[in-house]
């Protein structure tokens, strides 16, 4: 990748982020507080965009950023201010820092639990007003109560650990939580209805998605245990705010502590002033330690990607660490060329793609290899394709993708095979690395052919017969086309044969027609790598 990369930091961020970019050799501008129009006007000059939660990165901003912008880095967890599907469609990597503020956010949730249980904000306000309402504020203990976690990932698991220290019982609803992990965390894995029925306190620790939006709906709140107290330090939109207000007014929900709201900044909200409500202005990640951590992490991740090709904590493309990237790069180059080959030959007929790795290749992280294959295939249809948007385009076209590992070695110590399914049957190409670095084709559609896939080439299928190679060379020579390399293979003498001919210049359509007219020729396809 380029060693003269440039990054824009568009939100207020710890100064160490900019320092890390500069130390790594990345140019950086700090321009917090830009309007959407101002951001769109300058973003086309940058390879990377680093944000927190203030800047909204829309499809329109990304369109203004193309073709240069490669990565958007969120210093924090939530990426709901970034149009991730739009980024994926445009081939832009979106990264976050899911671990930099985990402890801080979990601690804020625990603080909210205490504040709810002992009515601390109201008691503080009353006391400072000169009242001494000792009998008014009758709290409840956390010890012995049941805490229900909606989401038990990184932050939820930290909250569970802290809750155990408070002698609470913990139940968790999380479709991605395995039974083994639940046992390890000491939580009871349950479905949402059971959690609602059992929990004295509920905390939310899930991203905002189509599946989680409004997860605490009016119906869910009605099904909750009477007197439940609810904490949300995750994302606004997880709770139906109008329904929560009604539940607080009726007393069915004894209290709610919210750090996040459906609309932010929440300078006005129908919940404000409701009995039993505690609010903070999205402070979950607001500690000195967390701000430093996420700034450092996003600068390191973006630098690794721009300079080394490493992909860490991306939400729309498989991870590829900076340590893995050098070892995987030759395999990805091979995979891309194989995808490019089969994509140009099979074209829009492709209905499915199988990526198979054998031998040494089976020990690798296969996801980037698959991404490279898909990028190669899709470049037959669009030049603006990369590993990020290729899976998106494959899904959009209804192309099924499958990965296969085979640790056994056959003819080669390492092998990548790409099989595509078409209406006319399957087509398979195979390749290996010579010297662990040089990509080579070794089989095309069942015919052994050793070839370097490079530059301009011609793919020819013909009947194996004496004189064909001479006729082919003559036809190319008469049209001023110089042959660079000539690679041949066949099923058997007199059967079907394949030629892959590298030439110095692109093949004009009229030359393709002349080659197609040669005796015994079945198929002629110009290729470009």
Q: What is the CATH number of the domain that holds 433?
A: 3.30.1330.90
Phi, psi of 308 (to 5 degrees): -120, -15
Tokens coding 519: 């005796």
Please give, one letter per residue, the 3-state secondary structure of 26-66.
CEEEECCCCCHHHHHHHHHHCCEEEECCCCCECHHHHHHHC
Distance between CA atoms of 231 and 149, rounded to whole angstroms? Answer: 10
Respond yes or no: is residue 282 known to be catalytic.
yes
* Residue 63 included in any domain: yes
Whether pTM exceeds 0.85: no
Question: CB of 316 within 8 A of CB of 93?
Answer: yes
Question: CB of 265 within 8 A of CB of 81?
Answer: no
* Residue 235 included in any domain: yes
* Residue 339 included in any domain: yes
Respond yes or no: is residue 235 known to be catalytic.
yes
Q: Which of 259, 279, 299 is the last residue of a domain?
A: 279
132 and 112 within one domain: yes
Cα of first residue to Cα of last residue in the chain, in angstroms, is 18
List the domain range (segments joined by +) for residue 521: 454-529
262 and 114 within one domain: yes
247 and 183 within one domain: yes
Distance between CA atoms of 342 and 417, rounded to whole angstroms? Answer: 11
529 residues of the chain, pLDDT tens digit each: 445 899 999 999 999 999 999 999 999 999 999 999 999 999 999 999 999 989 999 999 999 999 999 999 999 888 889 999 999 989 999 999 988 888 999 999 999 999 999 999 999 999 999 999 998 999 999 999 999 999 999 899 999 999 999 999 999 999 989 999 999 999 999 999 999 999 999 999 998 888 899 999 999 999 999 999 999 999 999 999 999 999 999 999 999 999 999 999 999 999 999 999 999 999 998 898 989 999 999 999 999 999 998 898 998 888 888 888 888 999 999 999 999 999 999 877 899 999 999 999 999 899 999 999 999 998 877 777 888 888 888 888 889 999 999 988 888 999 999 999 988 889 999 999 998 789 999 999 999 999 999 999 999 999 999 999 999 999 999 999 999 999 999 988 888 899 999 999 899 999 999 999 999 999 999 999 9
401 and 348 within one domain: yes
Q: Which of 225, 260, 279 is the last residue of a domain?
A: 279
Q: What is the CATH number of the domain that holds 509?
A: 3.30.70.260
- Is 28 exposed, middle or buried, given 0-12, 13-18 or 19+ CB atoms closer than 10 A? buried
* Residue 377 included in any domain: yes
Distance between CA atoms of 70 and 91, rounded to whole angstroms? Answer: 7
152 and 210 within one domain: yes
Long-range CB contacts (within 8 A, 24+) of 24-27: 24/299, 24/303, 24/307, 25/307, 26/302, 26/303, 26/306, 26/307
Marked catalytic residue, from 30, 194, 264, 324 = 264
428 and 472 within one domain: no
Marked catalytic residue, from 235, 340, 379, 440 = 235
131 and 69 within one domain: no
H-helix or E-strand spanning residue 404: strand 400-406
Residues 6+ apart with CB under 8 A from 94: 71, 72, 74, 79, 82, 84, 87, 88, 314, 315, 316
- Give the largest CA-CA distance in the chain: 108
Instruction: Specify whether the backbone of 3 is left (phi greater than 0), alpha (psi in -120 to 50) or beta.
Output: alpha
* Per-residue pLDDT at 35: 93
238 and 131 within one domain: yes
Which DSSP string corresponds to 275-291? TTEEE-SS-TT-SHHHH
- 225 HSE (CA, 13 A, CB side): 18
253 and 127 within one domain: yes
| CA of residue 480 relative to chain centroid, distance | 48
* Residue 442 included in any domain: no
- Total domains in the chain come to 4
Q: Which of 437, 469, 503 is the last residue of a domain?
A: 437
* Residue 149 included in any domain: yes
Tokens coding 232: 């949300």
Q: What is the CATH number of the domain that holds 59?
A: 3.40.50.720
231 and 303 within one domain: no
Distance between CA atoms of 233 and 403, rounded to whole angstroms? Answer: 38
* Residue 444 included in any domain: no
* Per-residue pLDDT at 3: 55
423 and 339 within one domain: yes
Q: Specify the DSSP class assigned to residue 138.
A: -
Marked catalytic residue, from 74, 205, 229, 282 = 282
* Residue 327 included in any domain: yes
Which SS3 state, helix, strand or coil, does residue 499 take?
strand
459 and 397 within one domain: no
* Per-residue pLDDT at 436: 79
């Amino acid at each position: 990748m380029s060693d003269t990369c440039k990054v824009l930091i568009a939100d207020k961020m710890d100064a160490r982020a900019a320092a890390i970019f500069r130390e790594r050799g990345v140019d950086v501008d700090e321009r917090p507080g830009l309007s959407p129009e101002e951001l769109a006007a300058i973003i086309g000059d940058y390879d990377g965009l680093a944000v927190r939660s203030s800047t909204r990165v829309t499809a329109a901003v990304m369109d203004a950023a193309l073709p240069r912008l490669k990565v958007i880095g969120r210093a924090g967890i939530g990426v709901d201010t970034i149009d991730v599907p739009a980024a994926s469609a445009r081939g832009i990597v979106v990264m976050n820092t899911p671990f930099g503020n985990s402890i801080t956010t979990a601690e804020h949730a625990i603080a909210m639990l205490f504040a709810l249980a002992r009515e601390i904000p109201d008691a503080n306000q009353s006391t400072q007003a000169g009242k001494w309402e000792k009998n008014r504020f009758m709290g409840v203990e956390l010890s012995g109560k049941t805490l229900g976690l909606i989401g038990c990932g990184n932050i939820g698991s930290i909250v569970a650990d802290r809750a155990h220290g408070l002698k609470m019982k913990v139940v968790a609803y999380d479709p991605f939580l395995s039974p083994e992990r639940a046992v390890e965390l000491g939580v009871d894995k349950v479905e949402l209805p059971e959690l609602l029925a059992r929990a004295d306190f509920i905390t939310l620790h899930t991203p905002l998605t189509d599946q989680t939006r409004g997860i605490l709906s009016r119906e869910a709140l009605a099904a909750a245990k009477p007197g439940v107290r609810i904490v949300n330090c995750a994302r606004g939109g997880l709770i139906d705010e109008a329904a929560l207000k009604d539940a607080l007014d009726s007393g069915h929900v004894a209290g709610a502590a919210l750090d996040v709201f459906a609309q932010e900044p929440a300078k006005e909200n129908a919940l404000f002033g409701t009995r039993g409500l505690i609010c903070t202005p999205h402070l979950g990640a607001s500690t000195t330690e967390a701000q430093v951590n996420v700034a450092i992490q996003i600068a390191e991740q973006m630098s690794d990607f721009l300079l080394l090709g490493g992909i860490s904590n991306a939400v729309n493309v498989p991870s590829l660490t900076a340590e893995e990237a050098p070892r995987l790069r030759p395999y990805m180059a091979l995979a891309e060329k194989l995808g490019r080959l089969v994509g140009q030959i099979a074209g829009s007929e492709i209905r499915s793609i199988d990526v198979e790795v054998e031998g040494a290749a089976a020990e690798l992280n296969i996801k980037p290899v698959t991404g490279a294959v898909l990028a190669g295939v899709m470049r037959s249809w669009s030049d603006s394709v990369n590993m990020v948007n290729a899976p998106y385009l494959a899904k959009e076209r209804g192309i099924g993708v499958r990965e296969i590992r085979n640790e056994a070695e056959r003819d080669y110590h390492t092998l990548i095979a790409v099989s595509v399914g078409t209406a006319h049957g399957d087509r398979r190409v195979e390749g290996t690395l010579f010297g662990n670095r040089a990509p080579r084709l070794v089989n095309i559609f069942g015919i052994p052919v050793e070839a370097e896939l490079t530059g301009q080439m011609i793919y020819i299928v013909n009947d194996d017969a004496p004189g064909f190679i001479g006729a082919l060379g003559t036809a190319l020579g008469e049209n001023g086309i110089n042959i660079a390399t000539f690679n041949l293979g066949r099923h058997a003498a007199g059967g079907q044969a394949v030629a892959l001919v590298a030439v110095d210049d692109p093949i004009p359509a009229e030359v393709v027609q002349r080659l197609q007219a040669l005796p015994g020729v079945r198929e002629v396809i110009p290729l470009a790598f």
